[in-house]
Amino acid sequence: MNNSSEKKEPSILVGGFVLGGAMIGAGMFSLPTIMAGAWFINSVIVLFVVCFFMFHSGIYILECISKYGSGTNYFFISKELLPKWACFIANAALIFVLYILIYAYISAAGSVIKESASIYGFDINLRIIFIIFTLILGATIWWSGIGASRLTSIFLLIKIVLFVLAFSSLFFVVKTDLLLKLPTGDTQTSLLPFVFIIIPYAITSFGYHGNVCSLYKLYHENERKVVKSCVIGCILALVLYFLWVLGTMGNLPRTEFLTIINKGGNLDAFIESLYAVLNSKHIATFLLWFSISAVFCSFLGVAIGLFDYILASLNFQDNSSGRMKSALLCFLPPLILCMLFPNGFLVAIAYAGMAACIWAIICPAVMALKARERFPESTFKVWGGKGLIYAVIVFGVVGIICQLLAQFNLLPIYR
């Protein structure tokens, strides 16, 4: 078995693709519908702002773990740099988000694989798909962190190619009037209240923080390589989201999104509207395989982070036996949940955004403040000083407020 003791390092592109794979998933289909109220310009501004703050909160984690060396993980630095109560809340939020996402991706993988199999005349039991999917990809992570990272990169490349094949037609027929002209009867001010509902969804769309510790270990404590990988991953996600919003809002009038929302806002309603624009019989096939690669890529990206978190937190040896224990704890609980509740993640995942604000935004910024007090002579510090740290904390609080208001239907929603 290959393990992390291997001296060979992957390129920064591999690290960037791992992070991009963790961020870019099937959830991108919800972005244009959620953004329809604020429309194009406001939505793009929100994407840039959220990407900026999420990038910096992620490398605050890197700054903290760099003080303690390779093998350190989020649990250790939070125990060292936060009060006990805050450490408990931060790690509970982290574990909740990662487990919920793995549960979601196993469930999503089962549905898309079953659908693709039925197209080719095969009827496969959904729970058997859950087991086979988890066993194959889980075994890849158990075998080698580097191998799983490279497999994630392959799936991300496939996903990008399929994205271009499925939706490139949208970019050639973009109507700039739809994008830049305000909807009839609306002013820029009247669109602003719809901005706040976007923030929780955008935060979830730029979540890569669970993989930072894994990359630090993968690159043998080379902070610069990790930072460059974070830059590549965030830019990949931002560019793909921008193109996706550009292509959809540049072809579908704002009123068309009301039809999608009234049909439940699900993927099928959204794609049905795109069919009318593209009028292509090949889009269904490309979309299906894009969905499969998106789920595989996102599963690997999130699972690598949780696997390494468990390995380090419980002090398991980085050998076949220790990695097997970590794999069982990582994959067995979400697999059992999928077997019991194949489609039950929707209620729980609604709170994942708020949990992400706690452990991935506020806590890393607070820990960075404490780390700078404890290690004043440290050579690696994120730029921006205390001012940027406080700005990140405020952004995290805003994200929690938006998430809470959204849960109680107190945010304006276009419908």
How many residues does the structure list for the chain? Answer: 415
Counting beta carbons within 10 angstroms of the beta carbon of residue 42, is it exposed (0 to 12), middle (13 to 18) or buried (19 or more)?
middle
Looking at residue 319, its pLDDT comes to 84
Q: Is the pLDDT of residue 2 over 50?
A: no
Average the pLDDT over 99-120 and give the result: 79
Q: Sign of torsion, CA 356 362 365 366?
A: negative
pTM over 0.75: yes
Quote the Cα angle for 392-378-57, to 5°.
20
In order of 179, 184, 195, 299, 350, the CA distances from 189 in angstroms are: 16, 13, 11, 39, 28
Spatial CA neighbour of 395 closest among 211, 194, 200: 200
In order of 20, 63, 69, 106, 328, the CA distances from 311 in angstroms are: 23, 21, 15, 21, 11
Alpha carbon 398 to chain centroid distance?
19
Spatial CA neighbour of 59 closest among 6, 25, 15, 97: 15
- Taking a C-beta distance cutoff of 8 angstroms, is the pair 203, 395 a contact? no
Supply 109's token pair: 């993988």
Report the 3 state secondary structure along 157-197: HHHHHHHHHHHHHHHHCCCHHHHHCCCCCCCHHHHHHHHCC
Indicate the SS3 state at residue 126.
Answer: helix
124-158: pLDDT as tens digits: 888 888 899 889 888 888 887 777 777 777 877 88
More confidently predicted of 188 and 190: 190
Looking at residue 4, its pLDDT comes to 42
Looking at residue 372, its pLDDT comes to 92
Element (H, E) at 11: none
CB crowding 280-305: b at 16 or more within 10 Å, else e: eeebeebbbbbbbbbbbbbbbbbbbb
- In angstroms, the CA 32 to CA 40 distance is 9
Supply 302's token pair: 């999130």
Of 59-63, 241-245, 273-277, 306-310, the poorest mean pLDDT is in 273-277
Of 182-196, 253-267, 268-282, the poorest mean pLDDT is in 268-282
389-410: pLDDT as tens digits: 999 999 999 999 988 888 788 8
Average the pLDDT over 167-186 and give the result: 72
Looking at residue 149, its pLDDT comes to 72
User: What's 9's DSSP letter?
Assistant: -
